[in-house]
Amino acid sequence: MKIRSVLRLAALVAFVGAMATGGGARADDVRIIGSGASFPFPIYATWFKSFSQETDGVTVDYQAKGSGAGIQDFINNTVQFAASDAAMSDEEIAQVKEGVVLLPMTAGEIVLAYNLDGVDELKLPRDVYPDIFLGKITKWNDERIAKANPGVELPDEPITVVVRSDSSGTTYVFTKHLSAINEDFKNGPGVGKTVQWPANDKLVKAPKNDGITATIKQTPGAMGYIEYGYAKLTGAKTAMLENKAGEFVSPSAESGSAALASAEFPGGDLPGEPGTPDLRVWVTDPAGEKAYPIATFTWMLFYKNQDPAVAKALREMVEYSLTDGQEMADKMGYIPLPDNVIAKVREASKLIQ
Amino acid sequence: MATNPFAQAVSVESMSGPPSQSDYLVDRGFRLAAVVGAAIIILLVVYILYEIGGQALPAITEYGLGFLVSSTWDVSRQEFGILPEIWGTLYSSLLALAIGGFFGITVAIFLTQNFLPARLAAVLRTIVEMLAAIPSVVYGLWGIYVVIPAIRPIANWLHDVLGWVPFFSTSLSGPGLMPAVLVLSIMILPTVAAISQDALNLVPYKVKEAAYGMGTTRWEAILRVLVPTASRGIFGALVLGFGRALGETMALAMLIGNSNQISLSLFAPANTLASLLASNFPEAGQIEVQALMYAALALLAITLVVNIVGIGIISVATRKQKA
């Protein structure tokens, strides 16, 4: 693994070196390399592929290494842009001397997928699903689940909880939500890209979104959190969750947009970056009646100052993602950005110079 | 004089005589190449140890030996410990070695001791060796989609009936130790089988003839004479198979459940060092990387100890045999 990452780095270095000397490539060709979050990878890959095809002389490559690795690459200046589900912390921003522009580009929902024969609709109250992930509710026919689902026949089976084994932005957003609504969760596992889940034999970990999805599909009585797009793709059953207003909402593009609509941007500038709006916002527990409770933006990270040709290409890429790109979002299981957010992002993207 | 045979024999200089200058050169060159090759391998191992050790050093000084006996892996609180992973690595590898080793040696005996026509044995041998060419991730998927559903009813029946036995104390929900061990044993089977076959084939034919000559039955000849004679090679096969089991990553990461707990139960999720490294490396921050390097060092140490113990067992066994 070490060797592979070294090789990859070597390839990257060689590639960047070749680019710097213009080795063989046409002078007006712009190649943009990005790396980072895997959560939005399916939609980013589609965007960048069609953008590269439709734009002459610009190619965009994106590697889904994970948010943390993306931020690392961005700080080390080995990429032209990066992507992260957890945006960037103030300390991380301070390490980038070229200046940082953070833009929310798309958004997603995290759903609780389950595998229970004969149960097609499952409602989970706010005080119940954190307790499932804390290992306090262990059986499907627990009276607290039964109370919320009158008329549904719940089996006397253990709940197998499936969580991520690798470090992940999805886990970060999910635990942030659970910590916001449940005091025990906040003081227990807490918030993080990996957390210390309660150790019991009914909690298993699987790698990546697809690993969790496969494990849930193969395990009767399993439940786990995945990105909405993966559930949509595989047809996994998803639970309706009780939101802050007390309504049970199933995940969809509309309920996701409703959640994002309640997002209030901090309004100030990024720390240490006067003139750059701070577009970091977390929708940990949206208030709207129709809002699905677990939704999040995901960000792209850009340098403020760089080669003008690259900057122009990056601005075009952002514009493409904001227009054509948003139309693809729903189909792929992501939430299109609300119009007011698009306007803000478009305005801020002008700072990429 | 032309017919003098002695003169003719003496004149054949090319057949014997002192080595020429070029012979010396080739000889020296070859020796140099061998020494350099061996040295590079040793240096490479030392360099890997140095590199990993260097990166692990901050974690070693920070967490000390407590790292090896604590069972929390919590990045946000920066508490790291790998006891469950050490336990899971050894437990899963030993079980896989027991199963894979048994079947591997059995296959080797079956394919080398004239149970089958030679051509059929060659075909079967190739098929067994092909198991080694299947990518790890395919084994993992096969485990998820085939092995787990297949053993779930058996496992849960065992749990219902014999739940008081510690090995069956939990039901199997999905990923867990048992599916991981079964897949792992299939993965090490070709290694064990191939090297054991070589070892059995190396036993001189006259040994077998002598055994039969003493009036042994076929099974007595195989179990009392042939297998003990080949035991050195078979032990080597087992040690290699065990090493493969210790280091196997992807299939285990998909099947073992990656749960940081220590349980005797065969059906509970567990974790291994290699799986921990694979799962956490890609997104690890600086401090976690140091802890992971420490874990990698522990894995290297375990492998080293296993090899040394293996060599010890072999030398004791052969000494006993000679005595």
Tens digit of each residue's pLDDT (9 = 90 or more) over B51-66: 999 999 999 998 988 9
CB atoms within 10 A of CB B3: 6
Residues whose CB falls within 8 Å of the CB of residue A66, separated by 6 or more in sequence, listed in order: A36, A37, A38, A166, A167, A168, A169, B282, B283
Looking at residue A230, what is its pLDDT? 83
Please give the biggest Cα pair distance in chain B: 100
H/E element, A299: strand A295-303
Question: What's the pTM value of the predicted model, to 2 decimals?
Answer: 0.78
Residue-wise pLDDT for B85-101, tens only, equals 999 999 999 999 999 99
Tell me if A201 and B268 make a contact (CB, 8 A cut-off): yes
**H helix runs in A123-237, sequence order:** 129-133, 143-148, 169-181, 183-187, 208-218, 228-234
Q: What is the mean pLDDT of residues B292-321?
A: 85
Residue-wise pLDDT for B120-142, tens only, equals 999 999 999 899 899 998 999 89
H/E element, B107: helix B83-112
Chain B residues whose beta carbon lies within 8 Å of the beta carbon of residue A65: 282-283
Q: Which residue of B has its CA nearest to A204?
A: B257
Chain A residues whose beta carbon lies within 8 Å of the beta carbon of residue B265: 201
Tell me how far apart the alpha carbons of residues B82 and B261 are, in angstroms, rounded to a whole number.
10
Closest Cα in chain B, distance from residue A339 (Å): 33
Tell me if B76 and A211 make a contact (CB, 8 A cut-off): no
What is the SS3 assignment for chain B?
CCCCHHHHHHHCCCCCCCCCHHHHHHHHHHHHHHHHHHHHHHHHHHHHHHHHHHHHHHHHHHHCCHHHHCCCEECCCCEECCHHHHHHHHHHHHHHHHHHHHHHHHHHHHHHCCCCCHHHHHHHHHHHHHHHHCCHHHHHHHHHHHHHHHHHHHHHHHHHHHCCCHHHCCCCCCCCHHHHHHHHHHHHHHHHHHHHHHHHHCCCHHHHHHHHHCCCCHHHHHHHHHHHHCHHHHHHHHHHHHHHHHHCCHHHHHHCCCCCCCCCCCCCCCCCHHHHHHHHCCCCCHHHHHHHHHHHHHHHHHHHHHHHHHHHHHHHHHHHHHC
Residues whose CB falls within 8 Å of the CB of residue A29, separated by 6 or more in sequence, listed in order: A57, A58, A59
CA-based nearest residue to A114, from A284, A240, A229:
A240
In the predicted structure, residue B9 carries a pLDDT above the cut 60: no
Both structure tokens of B298: 């522990």
Residue-wise pLDDT for B71-80, tens only, equals 888 877 788 9
DSSP state of A338: P
Q: Which amino acid is at A109?
A: E
In the predicted structure, residue B282 carries a pLDDT above the cut 80: no
Residue with structure tokens 């932005």? A169
Among the partner residues B71, B173, B271, nearest to A221 by beta-carbon distance: B173
Among the partner residues B71, B77, B278, nearest to A1 by beta-carbon distance: B278
Tell me if A68 and B283 make a contact (CB, 8 A cut-off): yes
Looking at residue B5, what is its pLDDT? 60
Looking at residue B1, what is its pLDDT? 47
Residue by residue, DSSP assigns A15-71 as HHHHHHTT-SS-TT-EEEEEEE-STTHHHHHHHHHHHHHHSTTEEEEEEE--HHHHH
Q: Which residues from B are below 8 Å from A when comparing CB atoms?
A: 71-77, 141, 144-145, 148-149, 170-171, 173-176, 249, 253-254, 257-261, 263, 265, 267-269, 271, 275, 277-285
Q: How far is CA A283 from CA A123, A261, A287, B42, in A?
A: 21, 9, 9, 55
Tell me how far apart the alpha carbons of residues A44 and A53 are, in angstroms, rounded to a whole number.
14
Instruction: Return left, alpha or beta for A235; rule: phi > 0 is left, psi -120 to 50 is alpha, else beta.
Output: left
Mean pLDDT by 10 residues, chain A (353 residues): 50 46 52 86 90 88 83 88 85 85 90 92 93 93 92 90 86 92 91 85 85 89 90 89 92 88 77 79 86 91 88 90 88 85 87 85
Q: How far is CA B134 from CA B31, B129, B142, B196, B281, in A?
A: 38, 10, 11, 20, 24
Q: How many CB pairs under 8 A join A and B?
A: 115
Tell me if B74 and A207 make a contact (CB, 8 A cut-off): no
Q: A185 exposed, middle or buried (CB, 10 Å; 0-12, 13-18, 19+)?
A: buried
Rg from Cα positions in chain A: 21
Chain A residues whose beta carbon lies within 8 Å of the beta carbon of residue B77: 190, 196
Residue-wise pLDDT for B182-230, tens only, equals 999 999 999 999 999 999 999 998 998 999 999 999 889 999 899 988 9
Distance in Å from the first CA to the final CA of chain B: 61
Tell me how far apart the alpha carbons of residues A55 and A316 are, in angstroms, rounded to a whole number.
9
Tell me if A222 and B278 make a contact (CB, 8 A cut-off): no
Tell me if A1 and B277 make a contact (CB, 8 A cut-off): yes
CA-based nearest residue to A334, from A297, A282, A285:
A297
Tell me how far apart the alpha carbons of residues B187 and B164 are, in angstroms, rounded to a whole number.
31
Chain B residues whose beta carbon lies within 8 Å of the beta carbon of residue A214: 141, 144-145
Tell me if B174 and A190 make a contact (CB, 8 A cut-off): no
Tell me if A200 and B261 make a contact (CB, 8 A cut-off): yes
Q: Which residue of A has its CA nearest to B265?
A: A201
Higher pLDDT, A211 or B103: B103
SS3 assignment, position B158:
helix
Looking at residue A23, what is its pLDDT? 40
Q: Which residue of B has its CA nearest to A69?
A: B283
Looking at residue A20, what is its pLDDT? 44
Average pLDDT, chain B: 88
